[in-house]
Structure 1
Amino acid sequence: MGASETPEWARLNREHWDEKVPVHVASEFYDLAPLRAGEGRLYPVEEAELPHIAPEGWQGKRVLHLQCHFGADTLVLAQRGAEVVGLDFSMPAVKQARALADELGLADRSRFVCADLYDARHALPQPESFDVVYTTWGTIGWLPDIAEWARIIAWFLKPGGRMYFADGHPAAFVFDDPRPGAPTADLDGGPARFPTARFSYFEAQPLDLDEGADYADPDAELANSRTVEWMHPLGQTLTALIDAGLSIDFVHEHDAVPWQMFSVLEPRGDGLWGWPATPWLPLGVSLGATRREH
C-alpha cells in the first residue's frame, strides 16, 4: 500500500508498534542475553513443536518469519543454521532487527524487509522459495483478511514446505479483565479478578481499542494507544489454510501463553503465564501445516 492509500487502521497500528519497539528492546520481557550469548531460545511451546516442523534441523533451511517484530525469534533460527528473512511493517523494528543481526554476526544469513504483510508478495517476490513460514504470538489479530494471509503463506512455501503458527486462542480473546469495582470470583482457592466476557467470538467487525498499557513493560504509557484488531474464530483460520492449499498436520491448545493475558494469570517460571489453579480455558493455540504438492 502506498502512503496515500494507507487505511486508518493500518496507520494506527503501525504508529502503535513503532512506539513499542524501543520499549520492548529495553524491557526484561524480551531478554536478549541468551541470544547474545549464542544460546537463543524460543518459548517452550515452539521448542516442543518445531522439531516436527524441521525434523532434520535448521541447517540450510530457508525460513520466512512474517510479522517478525524486531527479529529476536528470527535470529534464534538463524543461530541454528537457517537462512532467514523477517518481514514486519514497522521500520523502527526492522532497523533494530538489522542492527541486532550485525551485532550477533548473523547478517550473512538474515535479511529484514519492511512491508505490510499484504504487500509481502511485492516486497519479496520469491514464490515457492521457503522451506518454512513461521509466525507466532500476536499476529493475526492485526489482520482483517485471514484468507489472504493464508494465500500469502502458501505462495511463499515450496511444495511440501511447512508452516508453523502459534498465537493466543481466539476463545480467550472473548474475555478481558473485569472493570474496576467489579466483584471478584472464586478460582479454586480464593477470590481473584476472573476474566469476564467482553467480545463476541464471531465478531466480524473491527475492534477499535484504546489501551495505553504495554504487555512487555507495565510502567510504559503509550501515546499511540489506539489500535484496530480483529477476531478470527479457529475454524475460520484452519479453513483458510486448507483452502489456500495447505494440509493441517496438528492443532494443539495450550493453557499458557508468553504474556500476562489476564491479571489473574501467574508466571510458570518457563517464560509462560498460566492459570493459578485448575486451567479454565485454553489460552494459546498452535498448528503445523504442509503445503500440498498439487
Structure 2
Amino acid sequence: MTDEFVPANRANWDARVPDHLVAYGAEAFADDPGANSVRGDLELMAPHLPNGSIEALDLVHLQCHIGTDSLSWARLGARVTGTDFSGEAIAAARRLATRAGLDAQFVQTLNDDAPAVLGREFDVVFTSIGVLTWLSDLNAWARTIHTLLRPGGLFFIREGHPMMSALASERDDDLLVVTEPYFPTGHPQRFDDGVTYASDNLIKEHVTTYQWPHSLSEIFEALLHAGLSILAFDEHTTIPWKALPSLIPTPEGYVLPSGRERLPLMFSIAARKSS
C-alpha cells in the first residue's frame, strides 16, 4: 500500500473493530466450538490439498481483521498465523483466540513486510473477502504470497468480483448500472462516508479511506508474474454481505433478486508455488 495512505486506512480499520466485534457476533463465535466461517473455502480448496484436508498444515491468513476466519481454520486443524495492519484488529483476534481456547498466532504487519516479520514459510496462504481494494500494488502482494509459500504450497483467495464492485451501489431498483472503474486507474478512490459494511453504524472519526480498483486481468497477471501457477478459477453468484441494495438474503448468502446468471458477485482462485 502506498505509504501516504496507510495511516488513514489503518486508523479507519482500527475504528471499525468495536462495531465489527458486535456485528460479527465474535464472542458467541468464539464460545461455540462448532462455529466456522470457512467450510465453503475448504470445499473449494480440498482438491488441491493433501488428502483434501487442512489438518496439520501451516496456514498464514493475510489481512485477517479480527480473526474469525483464522480461528475457523484452527478449528479445522490448521496451524494458523493471522496478519493484519490494524493493531486494534490484531488485539481483538488474540482475545478471541484466548476466549476460544485455540492455538493461533496473530501478528501486526503490512502484507509487504510479512515475509521479513514472520521469517518463515507456510503450506497455505489464505486471504478472502474485501481485501484487494485496500492494496495499491498487486505485484508486491503477489510477491509476498510467493515468498511466504513453501515449494508446492497453495494460495487461495475468495473475493468480491471486480465487476460487482464497478456497479452503482446506491440505487432503489434492481438495475445493474456500471458507474465505478473496473480497470485500475493508477490512483485511489477517496471515501469519506464512515460506512463499516458490517452494520448500519457509521464511524464518527477517521472516516476517510483510500481504495483501489483491480480488474481480473490485473489479479491474474500479478499472480502469474510472481511465479504462481493457477490451479482453479471460479465465479460465484452469492456473496456473504449485502454488497448492493437490491441483493436479498438466502441460506447460501446474498443473491440478486432475479436473474442470478446476470452477474458474478464473487470469484475464487487457487494457485500453487512450483516445487
Specify the TM-score bucket, using the shorter chain as the normaliser: over 0.9
Of residues 43, 51, 72 in structure 1, which corresponds to 2:46? Answer: 51
TM-score under structure 1 length normalisation: 0.87
Q: Is residue 94 of structure 2 the alignment partner of residue 134 of structure 1?
A: no
Q: Percent of aligned pairs with the same residue?
A: 33
Moved more, 116-125 or 72-81: 116-125
Q: CA deviation at 1:138?
A: 0.8
Q: Tell me if structure 2 keeps the 8 A contact 1:66–1:133.
A: yes
- The one-letter amino acid of 2:149's match is L
The answer to whether the 8 A contact 2:38-2:73 is kept is: no
Question: Does the Cα contact within 8 Å between 1:214 and 1:222 map onto a contact in 2?
Answer: no
The question of 1:112 aligning with 2:94 is answered no
Task: Kindly provide the amino acid, as one letter, of the partner of residue 130 in structure 1.
Answer: F
Alpha-carbon contact 1:195-1:262 (below 8 Å) kept: no
Residues 60-113 of structure 1: CA deviation (Å, up to 9, x unaligned): 100000000011110111111111110000011101111111111113xx1110
What is the letter of the counterpart of residue 126 of structure 2?
Y
Q: Please list every run of 5 or more consecutive structure 1 residues that lacks an aligned counterpart in the other structure.
A: 185-191
CA distance in 2, matches of 1:44, 1:125: 29
Q: Verify the 8 A CA contact 2:38 2:69 in the aligned structure 1.
A: no
- Normalised by the length of structure 2, the TM-score is 0.92
Return the offset for 1:47. Answer: 4.2
| Amino acid in the other structure paired with 1:21 | V
Correspondence list, 1:1-294, <5 A: 7-27=3-23, 29-30=24-25, 33-42=28-37, 45-56=40-51, 57-107=53-103, 110-126=104-120, 129-178=121-170, 192-204=173-185, 205-270=187-252, 272-279=253-260, 280-293=262-275
Q: CA deviation at 1:242?
A: 1.2
State the distance in 1 between where 2:59 and 2:48 align: 11
Shift of 1:173: 1.2
Q: 2-side partners of 1:148 and 1:203: how far apart?
A: 15
**Local SS of the residue matching 2:232:** strand
Question: How far does residue 223 in structure 1 lie from its aligned partner after superposition?
Answer: 2.5
The one-letter code of the counterpart of 1:276 is P
Cα distance in 2, alignment partners of residues 84 and 100 from structure 1: 14
Q: Distance in 1 between matches of 2:61 and 2:38?
A: 16
Q: How many residues align?
A: 272
8 A Cα contact 1:61 1:83, kept in partner: yes
Q: Distance in 2 between matches of 1:66 and 1:178?
A: 30
Deviation of the 1:35 alpha carbon:
4.4
Does structure 2 retain, via aligned residues, the 8 Å contact 1:30–1:216? no
SS at match of 1:176: coil
Moved more, 11-20 or 49-58: 49-58
How far apart, CA to CA, are the structure 2 residues paired with 1:32 and 1:257?
Answer: 23
RMSD of the TM alignment (CA)? 1.9
Distance 1:70 1:31, change over 3 A: closer
Question: In structure 2, what is the Cα distance between the partners aligned to 1:195 and 1:32?
Answer: 37
Distance 2:190 2:202 in 1: 21
CA distance in 1, matches of 2:42, 2:154: 16
Deviation at 1:45, TM superposition (A): 4.1
**8 Å Cα contact 2:26-2:96 kept in structure 1:** no
Distance change (3 Å), C-alpha of 1:41 and 1:50: farther
What is the one-letter code of the residue matched to 1:291?
K
Name the SS of the counterpart of 2:162 in structure 1: coil
Distance change >3 Å, CA 61–CA 106, structure 1 → 2: same
